[in-house]
């Protein structure tokens, strides 16, 4: 009789231990699932931030290129406006050195302003 009682107690203890371990396993699986979801969400947020950053950089690079192209066009227009016709040679023009120097200085200043604006936008993120 004592053996049967001990056997029943052992069976009950083993069953209780099994139920407890099963509960712990389910808790670990739940925690792992939550962790995976959090990691996936963080990865998606990081990818979205990277995509937004790449789009922003592409936009400000386009603005920089456009600004520099406008500055170059302004220089060319300035030089064309200051062309002087060459005497006795129709269709030929000369450009005074002062005009080219001024155009070069203006272009350098405009490019510097474009670069400064680009760096400010890049630094501020706006």
Task: Report pLDDT digits (tens) over 8-38.
Answer: 999 999 999 999 999 999 999 999 999 999 9
CA distance 24 to 56: 48
Q: Is 44 exposed, middle or buried (0-12, 13-18, 19+ CB in 10 A)?
A: exposed
The beta strands (E) that lie in the chain are given as 84-85, 93-94
For the chain, the average pLDDT equals 92
Could you tell me the residue range of the domain that residue 43 belongs to?
2-124
pLDDT of the residue at 94: 85
In which residue are the tokens 């947020």 written? 45
pLDDT of 50 strictly over 80: yes
pLDDT of the residue at 89: 77
pLDDT of the residue at 63: 94
User: Domain count of the chain?
Assistant: 1
Mean pLDDT of 90-115: 90
pTM of the model: 0.66
């Amino acid at each position: 009789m004592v053996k049967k009682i001990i056997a029943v107690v052992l069976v009950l203890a083993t069953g209780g231990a099994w139920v407890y371990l099963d509960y712990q396993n389910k808790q670990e699986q739940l925690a792992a699932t939550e962790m995976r979801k959090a990691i996936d969400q963080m990865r998606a947020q990081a990818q979205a931030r990277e995509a937004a950053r790449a789009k922003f950089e592409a936009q400000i690079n386009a603005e920089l290129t456009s600004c520099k192209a406008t500055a170059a066009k302004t220089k060319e227009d300035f030089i064309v406006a200051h062309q002087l016709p060459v005497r006795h040679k129709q269709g030929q023009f000369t450009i005074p050195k002062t005009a080219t120097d001024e155009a070069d200085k203006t272009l350098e200043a405009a490019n510097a302003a474009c670069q400064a604006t680009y760096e400010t936008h890049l630094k501020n993120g706006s």
